[in-house]
Amino acid sequence: MPSCLLRRRVLSFAVAIVLGAACPLAAGAQLVVTPPAGATTLGKDLVLEFRLPAGFAGAAAELEVAVTAAGGGRLLDEAYPLRAGGQPDHFVYAAPTRADAAPGRYPLTMTVRGPGGELTWQGEVEVAFGKEWTAARITYFIQSRGLLLFLGLVFLGGVLMSATPCIYPMIPITLAVIGAQTQKQGVGKGFLLALTYGLGLAIVYGVIGVISATVFSGITAFLQSPVVLVPIALLMVAMSFAMFGAYELEAPAFLRNRLQGAGGGRAGVVGAFVAGMVAGLVASPCVGPFLAALLVWVGSTGSVLLGFWSLFIFGLGLSALLVAVGTFPSLLGSLPQSGGWMETVKRGMGLLLLYMAFFFVRPGLVLPERIFYPLLGAVTVLVAVFLGAFDHLTPESRWWDRTRKGLGILVLLCGGWLLARTVVPDLLPAPAVVAAPAAGAAAAPSATAAGADPSQPGKVEWELVRTGEGVQTLLAARIAEAGAAGKPVMIDFWATWCVYCKKLDKAVWVEPAVVAESRRFVTIKIDATKPDDEDMTAVKEMFKVPGLPTVAFVGRDGRILHAKTLSGWHEPAEFLTVMRSIE
């Protein structure tokens, strides 16, 4: 008995020593967390780096980490697997923030459980919308500021876009259609016709909004397809020839009489409305980032009323400049009659229309370089002749004649440069192409060729899948195979008529560092050129594809990483950053 009692006392003393040593450690142990330096963009990943005190360190698989926002708000989606940091006691927690969460500062609580016990950290992080307008940002704006203020902002956005070069070609069309009538009929009649013209343009955008809200959420990319761009370019060429005096561009007499009518009466208003609709179709490919986000938001709401009225009001703002141009001639009744100065203005407008036609079919959109640049060079030489590059100057020549000849010679040199490059490609450096690799990306430290193997292929190697080829089944099989091999998956949704899809092919998927990083992924390119079938529609819904191009990622565990999805154009450096963040 005494020996047993002695053993018990020794054991109790040992336990007390261990607990006494552990309790002070637990009481003084702290979880050191490093939150993001700035605001985290909603819809992207929230990254928290933390360091464990001595006695709590363990492998990432042995730790259980939970992060909750105060008030029970849904700020974070399911977290990614915990990653080890640069040192044994450092770890990285990452979870996607919800795109539909409200911006602001959120108190957070992080709890870490492991072999050494449990630790807690409380702090605060800031989340905010990024620079770009998104569907979630528009929804939040309407909820917090009201629909009327939002529609006012939409109108202002249209007014600002009316000052872009894509609207300029519509100025001569506006003058040709309603300008001649308004100059003789007074300000009131002129404004009525011009306003009717603007309503026709706005109606086209309202219809685009309805289409986006119902049957075709990818209309933004479709408006930049050759199906739309080629007819617009041909219209620009036809209008330019009319400005040069080759012919009078007008509708047949019976239709013209019905549309314009005598004295520009009711039928004249109808004609202005139809002409405005044509102007809306011509301006439709020139969609800016705000309009693209607006269309995505309309598609996400599925509301026909919101789709129509928001895009209709945007169209009203876009038509503001053209309404002013259409009204302006009625204020100029005292100006001199048409003469040489007016012919010069018309020809200048013709040149503007002609070069805008080239803008709509530039390389990367419609025409290949081997056709585009010879045509552009030949037209530029003709423009030089028009400007007077070969005119003979005399001592009596005026300053304008000398200036025009000088400009003509400069333009002639540009045209000769384009033609010479066509004949001898290596004679002169290639002109800049819209789809060329971005210079800034090449200079960025994160997007250089460092570490790339020059013996490997010079572009990302994709497995191509097309609409109608069982995309769901194939993707499920490839994701399972990638998970078994311990690889993530990168999926590029694209189409042959998608402008930025081609730009990605030429500027991003050939970047050496991006190519090198892509080799640890299973890479799949989904061709969505054809109309979506049920299978493709389901795949787009599963990956939340807002439009083309969209690059989605799947982790090694088979989860779709929605917070990593990149839509639209992004620089190679940004793609590289996202790709490297995926385990």
How much is the pLDDT for 518?
93
Asked if 199 and 260 count as a contact pair (C-beta separation under 8 A), the reply is no
DSSP string across 78-116: SPPPPEE-SSTTEEEEEEEBPTTSPPEEEEEEEEEEETT
Q: Strand, coil or helix: what is 165?
A: helix
* Distance, CA of 469 to CA of 353 (rounded, Å): 43
How much is the pLDDT for 323?
81
Name the nearest CA neighbour of 528 among 557, 506, 548: 548
Per-residue pLDDT of the chain (583 residues; tens, 9 = 90+): 555 544 555 454 444 444 444 444 444 567 889 888 888 888 888 889 998 887 776 677 788 898 988 765 678 888 888 888 777 788 889 888 887 788 888 999 999 988 778 889 999 999 998 877 777 788 888 888 888 898 998 898 888 877 766 676 667 667 666 655 555 566 677 778 888 888 988 898 888 888 877 765 556 666 666 777 788 788 778 777 777 666 665 544 544 455 444 444 444 677 778 778 877 777 766 655 667 777 777 877 778 888 899 989 998 988 888 788 777 665 444 444 444 555 666 677 777 778 878 877 877 667 877 788 888 888 888 888 877 788 888 888 887 778 878 888 888 898 888 887 766 655 444 433 333 333 333 333 333 333 444 445 578 999 998 888 888 889 999 999 998 999 999 999 988 767 678 888 888 999 999 999 999 999 999 988 777 778 888 898 889 887 778 899 999 888 899 888 888 778 888 899 889 888 7
Estimate the share of the chain in helix, then strand, then coil, as percent rounded to the nearest 5: 55, 15, 30
How much is the pLDDT for 72?
56
What separation in angstroms does the CA of 571 have from each of 42, 164, 218, 425, 574?
Answer: 20, 23, 22, 28, 5
- Quote the tokens at residue 452: 């790339």
- Quote the tokens at residue 315: 């169209």
* Distance, CA of 127 to CA of 124 (rounded, Å): 10
How much is the pLDDT for 26?
47
Q: What are phi and psi of 115, to 5 degrees?
A: -60, -30
Where do the DSSP E strands lie in 442-578?
463-466, 489-494, 522-527, 550-554, 566-567
DSSP string across 184-248: HHHHHHHHHHHHHHHHHHHHHHHHHHHHHHHT-TTHHHHTTSHHHHHHHHHHHHHHHHHHTTS--
Q: What are phi and psi of 13, to 5 degrees?
A: -65, -40
How much is the pLDDT for 491?
96
- Quote the tokens at residue 453: 């193997």
Asked if 310 and 152 count as a contact pair (C-beta separation under 8 A), the reply is no
Asked if 254 and 245 count as a contact pair (C-beta separation under 8 A), the reply is no
How much is the pLDDT for 451?
41
How much is the pLDDT for 493?
92
Name the nearest CA neighbour of 233 among 422, 34, 37, 379: 379
Name the nearest CA neighbour of 420 among 361, 388, 360, 380: 380
* Distance, CA of 222 to CA of 528 (rounded, Å): 12
Q: Strand, coil or helix: what is 64?
A: strand
Q: Residue 522 forms beta bridges with which residues?
A: 489
CB neighbours of 341 closer than 8 A, spacing ≥ 6? none
Name the nearest CA neighbour of 236 among 186, 166, 177, 180: 166
* E strand or H helix at 109: strand 104-114
Asked if 49 and 96 count as a contact pair (C-beta separation under 8 A), the reply is no
Asked if 167 and 321 count as a contact pair (C-beta separation under 8 A), the reply is yes
- Quote the tokens at residue 244: 């040069």
Asked if 474 and 491 count as a contact pair (C-beta separation under 8 A), the reply is no
Amino acid at 323: V
What separation in angstroms does the CA of 192 have from each of 106, 186, 528?
Answer: 53, 10, 44
Cα Rg of the chain, angstroms: 32
